[in-house]
A and B are shown apart, each in its own frame.
Chain A
Amino acid sequence: MTVVIGFEGSANKIGVGIVRDGEVLSNPRRTYITPPGQGFLPSETAKHHRSVILTVVREALDEAELSPADIDCVAYTKGPGMGAPLVTVALVARTLAQLWGKPLLGVNHCIGHIEMGRLITQANNPTVLYVSGGNTQVVAFSERRYRIFGETIDIAVGNCLDRFARVIKISNDPSPGYNIEQMAKKGTEYVELPYTVKGMDVSFSGVLSYIEEAAHKMLSSGQCTAEDLCFSLQETLFSMLVEITERAMAHCGSQEVLIVGGVGCNLRLQEMMGIMCKERGAKLFATDERFCIDNGAMIAQAGWEMFRSGYVTELPDSWITQR
């Protein structure tokens, strides 16, 4: 029996989760939400994490009905992510590992998402679409490593959505992406937006600049509503994501798709991917907001896999990295 506690705080979510041999025992989380029109800055985010992390650790242990002695390994997000929050969380993980006398494991955030996705959905060897505020990649396992087949050449799709939300002052509670999704459901007019797929890669900064500039003009002239813009933006961005996923699948001959990352919660994206899969005779796997959005258990799960393979992170190597 191996019990791993995982610490995740690379962006505005701080989560601590405990996993025992593939079973999630607890997974509490807090989100730092900024007022509409504002994004979250590293120092403020780190401050938020510092103020709640010990409470969340306590919750994780209580919910799992475990004490520190029952833990076998302490896993934390080594990167990628935002510097200040990563440091805050790593510090706590390091300290607790030393206080409890347990080995430490630095985990890659992206791998955390993928491993949790695989655990929850039991997908066998899927083409993975990892989409969040900080990442947009199409990943597949090949020759003993996870390899990136397609990705964004500039910003992540979640970042594009979040920044658009700021432009039209959509609330960030519970998350800008969620609110865009709700508004998009009420949109009816399709507005043409730039569509940029470059081979197996995508580019979002062009669409973002376009819509940042055009939004105000279009809204004030009454050409379309904010709901229409949300709808059109989703249709465009998600079509691009489905397209590059399909390309990777065609390239690798894969019959399974797994969507992970915060943007993976979006039901319209799941719907579109599902239609594409059906046309190809492939199977779609997706998780719900407990595991799509950054959480501690995914770090614990990836850490569990690494620990069982004999990896540990020595103290001098327990730094963090933004990339």
Chain B
Amino acid sequence: MALDSNRAKMPYLNKCSLIKQGAEARVYRGIFLGKPTIIKERFPKLYRHAVLDEKLTHRRTVQEVRSILRCRKAGISTPVVYFVDYTSHCIFLEDLVGSITVRDHIASSQESGQDPVCLSSLAEEMGKILAKMHDEDVVHGDLTTSNMLLRQGSEDAKPDLVLIDFGLSFTSALPEDKGVDLYVLEKAFLSTHPNTEQLFQRLLKSYTHASKKAPAVIKKLDEVRLRGRKRSMVG
């Protein structure tokens, strides 16, 4: 079976522990060159036509690595890329031990009825980081709160916001693409975390302050919001 032969090519993976199977890839935890490592394996999708599957998988692997490196150079926190195997489409990344997703953080904060101020400052931080990323002309393509991690640095320091999952990312200077990027996040945010409209507004405000190119992007965001939702289907 395709899956087994794939794993056979990577006997290494058998020694690692599978931590989750997302929609895109399987994620394993292991040790690489003595360091705790996350291995992201983009396995073949059997429902796709083979040619399409190979093209997509390869493109996404390459794009992910490129975007991570571009962001790092711009000073945005991302996992370190240790190694890439282009035949099996595996990326070996730094394991951010002890980090949690922003999604889990917001969910638990809301559940425990915690001080909303700390969530506000998180939203502001998110806005700032995204502004930096867009100013680098990197469009993430899959912004959700599951794709942002909070890494606790030293005891007292504020947690570090780390961006991950750049598989759908691409380079673009167009406000349209950045606007859609924010739209994707807004939709994911509001559908996953009900009653957080104000929080997201904070994020956008912080984004606007942090980026000089923001006005055009926000304008596009407003336009994109009006699209798709029951537009005329007279073709």
Contacts and interface: CB of A to CB of B under 8 A. Distances in A.
B46 interface: yes
Interface string B165-209: 000100000000000100111011001101000000000000000
B232 interface: yes
Contacts of B227: 153-154
B114 to A, nearest CB: 20
B23 A250 contact: yes
Given A246-B23, A272-B47, A159 B180 contact: no
Nearest to A231: B49
Interface string B218-235: 000000100111111111
Nearest to A162: B235
B157 interface: no
A188 B77 CA distance: 46
B56 interface: yes
Given A148-B191, A162-B235, A198 B47 contact: no
Contacts of B180: 153, 198
B47 A82 contact: no
B12 to A, nearest CB: 22
A243 B230 contact: no
A11 B168 CA distance: 35
Interface string A139-179: 00011000111111111100100110010000000000000
Contact of A199 (B188, B194, B234): B188
Contacts of A280: 21
A201 B233 contact: no
Interface stretch (B34-42, B82-90, B123-131, B136-144): B136-144
A149 B191 contact: yes
Contacts of A166: 235
Contact of A197 (B143, B168, B192): B168
A239 B228 contact: no
* Majority-rule SS of A interface residues: mixed
Interface string A84-126: 0000000000000000000000000000000000000000000
B23 A249 contact: yes
B46 A275 contact: yes
Contacts of B191: 142, 147-149
Contacts of B185: 199
A217 to B, nearest CB: 20
Contact of A195 (B21, B46, B52, B230): B52
A235 interface: yes
Nearest to A142: B191
Given A143-B194, A199-B142, A250-B22, A82 B46 contact: no
A54 B56 CA distance: 51
Given A147-B191, A198-B184, A250-B22, A190 B52 contact: yes
Contacts of A243: 23
Nearest to B59: A195
B51 interface: yes
A200 B187 contact: yes
B48 interface: yes
A239 B47 CA distance: 7
Interface string A56-77: 0000000000000000000000
A133 B232 CA distance: 11
A250 B101 CA distance: 15
A24 B46 CA distance: 37
Given A148-B187, A149-B191, A273-B47, 19 more contacts: A39-B234, A79-B230, A134-B233, A143-B194, A148-B191, A151-B228, A162-B235, A163-B235, A192-B51, A195-B52, A198-B141, A198-B168, A198-B184, A199-B142, A200-B188, A201-B228, A235-B49, A235-B52, A279-B45
6 contacts: A41-B234, A153-B183, A162-B235, A200-B144, A236-B52, A275-B47
A-B pairs, top 9 by smallest CB distance, nearest first, are: A199-B184, A323-B230, A275-B47, A134-B233, A272-B47, A246-B23, A250-B23, A247-B23, A153-B228
Interface of A: 11, 39, 41-42, 79-80, 82, 133-134, 142-143, 147-156, 159, 162-163, 166, 190, 192, 195, 197-201, 235-236, 239, 242-243, 246-247, 249-251, 271-273, 275-276, 279-280, 322-323
